[in-house]
Amino acid sequence: MTKTILITGASSGLGAEMARQFAALGHDLALCARRLDRLEELRAEITAARPDRRVEVRELDVTDDDAVAAVFSDLAGTFGHLDRVVVNAGLGKGAPLGTGKHHANRQTAVTNFLGALAQTDAALEVFRAQGAGHLVMISSMAAMRGMPGATTTYAATKAGVAHLAEGVRAEVHGTPIKVTVLYPGFIASEMNDGTGGNPPMLVSTEKGVRAMVAAIEKEKDSACVPPLPWAPLSVVMKHAPMPLFRKLV
């Protein structure tokens, strides 16, 4: 069954690959990002390969609350409905706290949490009006436990958005509105380019997103992706004694 899927942060990385894979599964797309030129290129690529798919693109900065509400409403009106919204836009920058680089941490916090809050609010307004919908929140394995160094703020934002989505699930339980939270591990993307070598267990964008899309299509409540090794590692990350945890991270 064809669904209309809105994806933010769709101009590159995981968002762009999700768009390609959802189109291959027969879904129509509403793609949002700050870089409209990249979205236009992606639309041309997808429609050339899948001429039967409908792809709409909109420029969007998710830190602009009014723009988020307006764009989501506009796309819902353009398609007549939105079956699924993937809250994907985010930043990975940051610095250890207390090192004089608050601006970088604040930018990540505003984009990753307040931006996700605005997107969730706008998505739920559409879904409530429709009486149905599927909210997908892209968190991170870093959300499993507070992380040290430059990742501290990023991890905190990803824990925050996971709890935000879980709260929505508790509220809409028993209704046709569904919620999925994904915890990606190390998946190659533009966000982690240039971070000083490949982290262990890194998988390609295509492979990692294939696991993400599979979990989304099944409307799982939550999933670590890819499942191996990240599902068992999530238990270790949550419960390992601090000396062992520090060696792992």
Quick check: helix, strand or coil at residue 224? strand
Quick one: pLDDT band at residue 242, thresholds 50, 70, 90? Answer: confident
Given the candidates 3.40.50.720, 1.10.287.610, 3.40.228.10, 3.40.1350.10, the CATH classification of the domain at 4-248 is 3.40.50.720
* Helix/strand/coil (H/E/C) assignment for every residue in 69-131: HHHHHHHHHHHCCCCEEEECCCCCCCCCCCCCCHHHHHHHHHHHHHHHHHHHHHHHHHHHHHC
pLDDT of 201 strictly over 90? no
pLDDT score at 248: 78
Q: pTM for this structure?
A: 0.94
- What pLDDT sits at residue 244? 78
Alpha-carbon span 186 to 202, nearest angstrom = 5
pLDDT at 193: 54
Count CA atoms closer than 13 A to 176's CA, side-chain side: 10
Q: What is the mean pLDDT of residues 220-246?
A: 90
Q: Give which of 88, 74, 104, 84 is closest to 34, Cα–Cα.
A: 88
- Dmax (CA) of the chain: 54
pLDDT in tens, 83-125: 999 999 999 999 999 999 999 999 999 999 999 999 999 999 9
The sheet with strand 133-138 has its strands ordered as 55-59, 28-33, 4-8, 84-87, 133-138, 177-184, 222-225
**Residue 144 DSSP class:** G
* Lookup: tokens for 133: 């919908």
The structural domains of the chain, with segments of one domain joined by +, span 4-248
Whether 38 shows a pLDDT value over 80: the answer reads: yes
Of 155, 179, 146, 182, whose CA–CA distance to 165 is shortest?
A: 179
Task: Outline where DSSP puts E strands in the chain.
Answer: 4-8, 28-33, 55-59, 84-87, 133-138, 177-184, 222-225
Catalytic residues: 154
Per-residue pLDDT for 62 more than 50? Answer: yes
Residue 243 has pLDDT above 90, yes or no: no
